Amino acid sequence: MKHKFIILALGLGFLASSCNDLDLVPLSEASTENWYSSEEELLMAANEFYKIGYWNKMNQGLLEQATDNFTYRNVNRCNLLDGTVNGDGGTENWYPVEQWQSNYKCITMANTFLEKSERAEKAGVSEKILNQYRGEAYFTRACKYAVLVSFFGDVVWLDKNIYIEEAFQKGRTPKKEIIPLIYQDFDKAISMLPVSYTGNSTQRFTKGAALAMKARFALYMGDWELAAESAKACMNLQAYQLHPDFSDLFLMNTKNSIESILVFPRSVQYNILYDATATKNELPRNAGGYGSYAPSWDLLASFLCTDGLPIDESPLFDPHNPFKNRDPRCTATIVEFGTRHCSFDFDPHPDALKVMNYKTGKMVTNQDTRANAQYTSFNALLWKKGIDDSWVDNKQKVESDYIEIRYAEVLLTYAEAMIELNKIDESVLEAINSVRARAYGVKSSETDKYPAVTARDQKSLRQTVRLERRVEFAKEGLRYMDLIRWKLATKALNTKNYGILYPADILRDKVTSKGLWFWPTTPQIDEDGIADFSAMEKEGLIQVLSQRKWDERQYLWPIPTSEIIINENMKQNPGY
């Protein structure tokens, strides 16, 4: 039983050494005893680092569900929002267990590769090839430990193969000791990996990816100097640019964008697809989906108006037409009412009982209003980002690239780190403005065509860059760690999740018949960008769907219970 737990939790089956001296390996066949001895074998082994499952387990939709950007009907989709997460695993608590297991398995492969690749060196494989693949292993190990430290704090540090018996004695290494080791691995990767590849290797790990991921980790750890330095080095490579069209960047037909720094391709041909459950839940019901995964009202409220002001300050904002005069990323992220989406008009109004089906040219029953379909979006919103007709045309088989990190994040990482250092100069404003201007489809120098950032005081710019990250990276999985590192989870995740009144007769009586659709009034926005809908709630004009409950202990996740049971030296995080 002990062996079973260790193999599941740390993947140490890969690390265990043989306990006998019998040599039964045919020299003419590949095995663990003679593998890693040629360039071809190194390539095949290194390809294991690119399995998408090791990278997207806790990003994009899955981790977004643990934030105030997301809603799922009238429940909290993730138990992190119920304050009930623990290390026991299972359907409700898979977040920490899956994260622990997946990352250690990948670390195990990297360690094995680094040890065994000496065989290829002895066999005469060129130093250039060896360095590239070793760089990929160092990069993988650095990224996976960066994730573990970010979620769990102190973790078990393994940089070589060990015996099972030794594994049972391993305790957690202090986070402060692991962080420099992670930076060292990133630095080795940076020195070994090329800036770019040619031919069929264009999507392998690069120097830019190592710099970008190092910058992200340094930002998460509050190492501002290092974050700014690494982000700037990535920018100086001049290997990346912002994709011209923000909306187009995330679509299924966009491959290998100039903005993508670390990307993992999906493929219908090889049955590597966007999560089928998410696909079904994000598509509108009119198009054959469920319309149940939705952006929250909190997120809709966060986009600035075109004058650069929040909705509770801008004279341009109309709560009855909340998509008008907003940052273009608003309608690129959330489906605007009355617009065509997945071949149908999208209109959740209770009186919109029929809508146009553009494929048939006929009016059909509107399944995206709760007046007709009880279980469509409870807050009347749907995700737009990355979703278009191709999802339906391709029979819900979605092969959009999985983007782990893109150039816009590097720019905003640089800006945030420099702001925290209070080293605010033109380069900081340019980094923010270039991202914002792209959303408007203009150059950053065309300041009369978008609300350019001009303030230079630290407090104001800190709020600006935090908001910019939220609206730029919505649905990409970055919001959770931002709330953790900014210590805003306590505020943002102890809020109510709101939606429209139900049934439709009540909504008509209290809201639409009085001209109060969509929002009866304008929610207030505090200095941290958190929306307050309580006034509308008190008047009985909106409905509470769920209550987010954040437990302070969750700033660190629990160590999986199986690890605690089998190893007396493995101590649990506080509060679990």
CATH of the domain at 463: 1.25.40.900
Q: How far apart are CA 292 and CA 376, in angstroms?
A: 6
- For the chain, list residues with pLDDT below 50: 1-29
Q: How far apart are CA 575 and CA 556, in angstroms?
A: 10
Domain endpoint, select from 369, 399, 429: 399
How much is the pLDDT for 3?
39
294 shares its domain with 346: yes
240, part of any domain? yes
Q: What type of residue sits at position 108?
A: T
242 shares its domain with 358: no
274 shares its domain with 390: yes
157, part of any domain? no
Structural domain boundaries enclosing 369? 266-399
Under DSSP, the state recorded for 473 is S
387, part of any domain? yes
The residue count for the chain = 576
Indicate the helix (H) or strand (E) that contains 100. Answer: helix 94-116
Domain endpoint, select from 485, 501, 517: 485
For residue 436, give both structure tokens: 């914002």
Q: How far apart are CA 416 and CA 91, in angstroms?
A: 36
Q: Across the strands, what pairs with 546?
A: 497
Torsion of CA 372, 378, 384, 385, to 10 degrees: -160
507, part of any domain? no
226, part of any domain? yes
- Residue partners of 257: CB distance under 8 A and separation at least 6: 243, 249, 263, 401, 406
459 shares its domain with 348: no
55, part of any domain? no
Q: How far apart are CA 478 and CA 470, in angstroms?
A: 8
Give the CA distances from residue 569 to residues 166, 172, 542, in Å, rounded to whole numbers and listed in that order.
11, 8, 51
298 shares its domain with 383: yes
468 shares its domain with 360: no
Indicate the helix (H) or strand (E) that contains 220. Answer: helix 207-220
CB burial class (10 A; 0-12, 13-18, 19+) of residue 348?
buried
The answer to whether 382 and 282 are in contact (CB under 8 A) is yes
CB burial class (10 A; 0-12, 13-18, 19+) of residue 411?
buried
326 shares its domain with 386: yes
Is the peptide bond preceding residue 503 cis, with omega within 30 degrees of 0?
A: yes
Q: How far apart are CA 105 and CA 281, in angstroms?
A: 30
**Among the listed residues 373, 370, 338, 376, the one whose alpha carbon sits nearest the alpha carbon of residue 355:** 338
379 shares its domain with 469: no
The answer to whether 56 and 264 are in contact (CB under 8 A) is yes
Domain count, the chain: 2
Q: Across the strands, what pairs with 346?
A: 339
Domain endpoint, select from 446, 463, 485: 485
244 shares its domain with 301: no
Question: How many Cβ atoms are within 10 Å of 283's Cβ, its own excluded?
Answer: 24
430 shares its domain with 308: no
* Integer-rounded Cα radius of gyration of the chain: 25
350 shares its domain with 284: yes
Q: How far apart are CA 426 and CA 454, in angstroms?
A: 9
282, part of any domain? yes
235 shares its domain with 352: no
Q: What type of residue sits at position 88?
A: D
pLDDT in tens, 144-187: 999 999 999 999 999 998 888 888 889 999 999 999 999 999 99
How much is the pLDDT for 430?
98
Q: How far apart are CA 384 and CA 331, in angstroms?
A: 7
Q: How far apart are CA 486 and CA 551, in angstroms?
A: 16
**Among the listed residues 396, 398, 310, the one whose alpha carbon sits nearest the alpha carbon of residue 60:** 398
The answer to whether 178 and 218 are in contact (CB under 8 A) is no
Phi and psi at 261, nearest 5°, equal -95, -45
How much is the pLDDT for 395?
96
For residue 479, give both structure tokens: 């919001």
Give the CA distances from residue 410 to residues 47, 88, 208, 209, 287, in Å, rounded to whole numbers and listed in that order.
26, 36, 10, 10, 36
416, part of any domain? yes
Is the peptide bond preceding residue 518 cis, with omega within 30 degrees of 0?
A: yes
